[in-house]
Structures are given as C-alpha cells and as structure tokens.
Chains A and B, each alone.
Chain A
C-alpha cells in the first residue's frame, strides 16, 4: 500500500516537471521569435560628455572635441548608428544614465566599483593615475629608484601624497613641491629635479607642449577611465564594450588620446 502510494506520488511529480518544462520551452521559443529591439532609439547613440574637462571634452570653435567625443564618434560608427552628444555636468552623469537621457557616458569618468549594481563599465581606455616622468636615460624607472634623487610634485596633489607614502617605504629622496603639476614637470625638464610624480594627463600635456623633450613615463598608480551604460541594457553595454575593445587593440584609442591632447594644448590660450 505504501509502495503504491509512493509510486503514484513519484508519477505525479514527474508529470508536473514535464508540464513545467513544456511551458517554459514554449515561452522561450516565443521570446526567440520576437523581433530583436534596436540597440538605440532612432538609430542614434546618445553620448553624455563633460565639455568642461579637456582633453576629454571641451568646446572648440562652436563645436565640441576631445578624447571622449572622438571615441564616441568611432563607437557609433562601429555600431552602425548616428551619434548625438549631450553635454553634462559631473554631478549629473549617472542620473542621466538612470533616466535614459543618454545611452552611454564617456566623460573622463573614473570607474566606480560601488556602482556596479547599476552600471556596466566598458574596458578602461585611459589610466588617469599618477606617473613618474623623467628624462630618458636617467634610470629612474620606478618609485623604488627615487632614493637620493630630487623628486618633484605639485603641492596637495595625488602625486604629493604618493611621494609622501614612498618616503615612508624607501631611503629618503628630496621631495620638491611646486604650485601645480605643470611647474613640477618643468622642474624636471629644466634640471631642477630628476623626476616628477604627476597625473598621466599632466605628463602627456607636457610631452605635447615640448615634443623635443625626450622623457619616459611610467605608471605609479592606476585610475581606470571607462565608459558607462545602464546595467539593464546589457546588449548595448556589450556592443559598446566590444567596439571599444577593438579600438584599443588596434591602437586607435592611443592615437585618439595623443591627437586630442595635442589639439587641446594647441587650443589652450597662451
């Protein structure tokens, strides 16, 4: 009697399982048969940019230009859609994604791991961290080699802080503080210091201003700059990410960064 009851229960459970599988299969097939929605509305990729932050974004003679603007154009081209740029302030970048005002944000934006529940970041396309810049051939290839040397940094900057951290870790060096990063790099260029710890951008801008100066740049810290899309638009996020990865691997991003930095230097007053 007990065995017969057990068999009946097992048969019933098996029937329920088969029914559930059948229903889910029908639903899945129906979903697959639906037309694929477009990646973006009106075949236009809306890109949120910050045009107050050269060389990532800036106003240029009635138009806008910058690293992010140039990357945005190439991404739209890769996706086969048009592009529309939406200038935004820093405080409103993520809200613009949340409300659907823009499809993707490219705004010199440091990736924030605290936001991964709501955004998907692209592969990072620039390191905005601190670098060590020194004349080629001086042998200052890393912070560990700074002992006994003259190291320049901007007062109160991230580079200043990084240098003070290293002072606690290696035999001392002469930390020379200047009013801003440009002065710190000039100190190296003009022989007042052996190396400087400045932001990657400051180093690139110095290169663009003084192309004849042969200097080496080495990473000290990493701050990844990436694009961001809303996490519930995974298809778009992956399409944008794949397109960006392709631009990174073929050297396009590096060329864009170099050209945009030079253009912003050429456009700067004085």
Chain B
C-alpha cells in the first residue's frame, strides 16, 4: 500500500515536471507575425471607376494581404474584385471558416477600398456523387441550394463593404462549368436559387450575373459557347429577373482599345456588343461591372503585345471607359499580383510581381489615376544595327 502510494507520488511529480517544461517551451516559442491595421485611409484618385482584380484568398501571410491593398490604394483604385472560394470557407455543411475572408475585408475597409466578391469553387462534400473526376467547378444541381445558402451567408456578413456579388465565372467555358455541357439555361437556374436567398439576407448587395469569356467558338463546340449567343440565351431564359446587373470580361488581345466592335472579332470594345444585348432585352438600367480587362505583354504568347503597347492601350482603354462608357460602373484590371507565379505567359498580366515590385504598367496607371505626370524613361531605345 505504501509502495503503491510512493509510485503514484513519483508519477505525479514527473507529470508536473513535464507540464512545466512544456509550458516553458511554449513561452519561448516565437510569436506569430503581427500586422497592425494602422490609421483609416482613403483612396486618392481622379478615376472613381478604376478597379483591380486581386487574388488574396490564397495568401498565407497577412502582411501580403495588407501590402496588396495598400498598393491598390496607392495606385488610385477604390475597388477590388476578389475571388472567395466556397470550398475554402464552408469545408463541411454549415461549418464556416471566415478567417481568410475576414482579414481581406478588414484590410480593405482600413484602406478605404470596396469589394466586388466573386463566388465559386465547389467543396468536395457538395460534389459527392458527381463522378470520380469532378472538378472544383462542378456544381451539381442538387447543390444549388447549398451554394445559395453560402452566398447569402457571405453577403449578409460583408454587406457593408460589398459593391457586388458575382455569381460564378465564365460559365460559357466548359472547364468553368465543370467540363459539363455549357448551358445558359442551367446557369439561370443556378441564379434562380441564389438570387432570392441573397436578397433576403442582404437586400442592398447587387447580385451580378457571371462574366462571360470572350470567344469565337462555333456553335456546338465542346469547349465553349460564344459569349454573345450565351448572353442572349440567358436573357431569354429569364436572366434579368434573377440579377441586378452584369459582370463582364473584355480583353484587348492584340488590338488597340479603339478598334471597332464586331461579332467576329475579339477586342476591348466587344463589351459594347454585350451592353447592346443587355439593352435590347430591357435590362439597360442595370449596371455593368467590367471585372476583368487588360493586355498581356508576353513576347511569346500569341495574344501578347509589347510592353509599350500594353501601357498605351491600357491607359487609353481606362480613359475610354471613364469618358464614353457611362454604363460601366467599374473597370477592373486583371490582375494586381498572384501569390505564386505560373512561370508562364499568364504572369505577364500582373501589375506587381510576387515580390511586390511594380511593373511599368502599375506606375503608369498610378500616374494616370492620380493626375501625375511622369516623363521617366523606363527602358533604353531599341538597339540599332
């Protein structure tokens, strides 16, 4: 009995020593990095429509979120478009992890920046039974109600900072539609589930129909549906009743921004053709948010232009939207920066590299937005033989 008591006392003593040692180790472990919000900021800009697409939900470090939004403000952009993957936030039904989105909105608010939120990416639990090889873009119809519930929760949580809620992305592309058959009617059915849920939760947040990928695919293509045909079909299926406006993508590819629009041509002013369709279907009073635009200066991509052309075209395009497109509420450049480089031509869309080094276009847009003059030559003239 006495021996058992001694053994117990010894074990308790060792347990106490171990707990003390672990507590000491925990105290000397380095503290996590802290990011101070700082004083409230406002965006100094002469271009209220200027906007830029960010990719912050994939950032691990909070300081990079803050730095990105700080440089967005310094560039003169008062709005961002950000992608908020459903799969990141609701990893199990009804269980939300808002930490990633909370910190983006916290820093955006502090920088004086409004947010247009793009919703998408389906969690695995919502794709159950969709097939062994479903993708993050595969949204079975039986999960429309879950997506609607999530979108409503999101809109309610962030309604004070949201300028719009974009439902899905480029659904006229097969791969964005989970490599299922592209269907404007199917997309409108999705909005029929989402729209009332969001409006009930956050009535003041505009629900924006998804932007479409500009393309010239022939009818019946397995890869995509022509954006003009898709929008007409979506309106015929009732799009105007389940949206408060349109998001649009319009890229310049290899042509200057003033090249005239044509159904058989992909250029910046293709946005005017989409606008015409919107007006023709009685939806002209609804706003348009151009959530992606720009040029790429890769000298190897078939759709790239030179760095000098990229600057010239982009500034002219922004000026055109500011002065001639009264129907466009925002024009958002694709893309401020990506958390990791693709090491391929998509990197040449960025305004900042992954180390936050501003490219020539960032400096030019900043000068334009803030009304500053810049005569600094960024590079030497081409060598002459």
Interface residues of A (CB under 8 A from B): 51-55, 58, 87-92, 95-96, 98-101, 108-110, 114, 128, 154-156, 161, 176-183, 186-187, 189-190, 192, 201-202, 223
Q: How far is the CA of A181 from the CA of B348 in the complex (A)?
A: 13
The listed residue (B178, B342, B345, B378) touching A177 by CB distance below 8 A is B378
**What are 19 A-B interface contacts by the 8 Å CB criterion?**
A53-B301, A55-B300, A95-B137, A96-B179, A101-B179, A109-B344, A110-B344, A156-B357, A156-B359, A161-B357, A177-B379, A178-B380, A179-B307, A180-B299, A180-B306, A183-B379, A187-B383, A202-B299, A223-B343
| 20 further interface pairs, Cβ-Cβ under 8 Å (given A99-B134, A161-B353) | A52-B302, A53-B301, A55-B300, A87-B223, A88-B175, A89-B173, A91-B346, A95-B179, A98-B133, A98-B135, A99-B133, A108-B344, A156-B353, A156-B359, A161-B355, A179-B306, A179-B379, A181-B299, A183-B382, A190-B383
- Asked whether A90 lies within 8 Å of B345 as measured between CB atoms, the reply is yes
Residues of B within 8 A of A182 (CB): 299
The listed residue (B135, B345, B378) touching A53 by CB distance below 8 A is B345
Residues of A within 8 A of B98 (CB): none
Residue among B134, B300, B306, B307 with most chain A CB within 10 A: B300
- Asked whether A192 lies within 8 Å of B383 as measured between CB atoms, the reply is yes
Distance between A74 CB and nearest chain B CB, rounded to angstroms = 23
Distance between B360 CB and nearest chain A CB, rounded to angstroms = 6
Q: How far is the CA of A58 from the CA of B357 in the complex (A)?
A: 32
Residues of B within 8 A of A99 (CB): 133-135, 178-179
Q: How far is the CA of A82 from the CA of B174 in the complex (A)?
A: 25
* Chain A residue at minimal CB-CB distance from B302: A52
> 10 tightest A-B contacts by CB?
A92-B175, A110-B343, A52-B302, A99-B179, A156-B359, A155-B379, A187-B383, A190-B383, A186-B383, A177-B379
Q: How far is the CA of A66 from the CA of B267 in the complex (A)?
A: 26
Q: How far is the CA of A51 from the CA of B344 in the complex (A)?
A: 14
Encode B162-192 as 1/0 by CB contact (under 8 A) with A.
0000000000011100110000000000000
Interface of B is mostly: loop
- Asked whether A179 lies within 8 Å of B133 as measured between CB atoms, the reply is no
B15: Cβ under 8 A from any A Cβ: no
Distance between B372 CB and nearest chain A CB, rounded to angstroms = 20
Encode B79-94 as 1/0 by CB contact (under 8 A) with A.
0000000000000000
- Asked whether A179 lies within 8 Å of B382 as measured between CB atoms, the reply is yes
B21: Cβ under 8 A from any A Cβ: no
- Asked whether B383 lies within 8 Å of A54 as measured between CB atoms, the reply is no
With contact pairs A54-B300, A92-B175, A179-B307 given, residues A100 and B383 touching in the complex (Cβ less than 8 Å): no
Residues of A within 8 A of B308 (CB): 179
B142: Cβ under 8 A from any A Cβ: no
B384: Cβ under 8 A from any A Cβ: yes
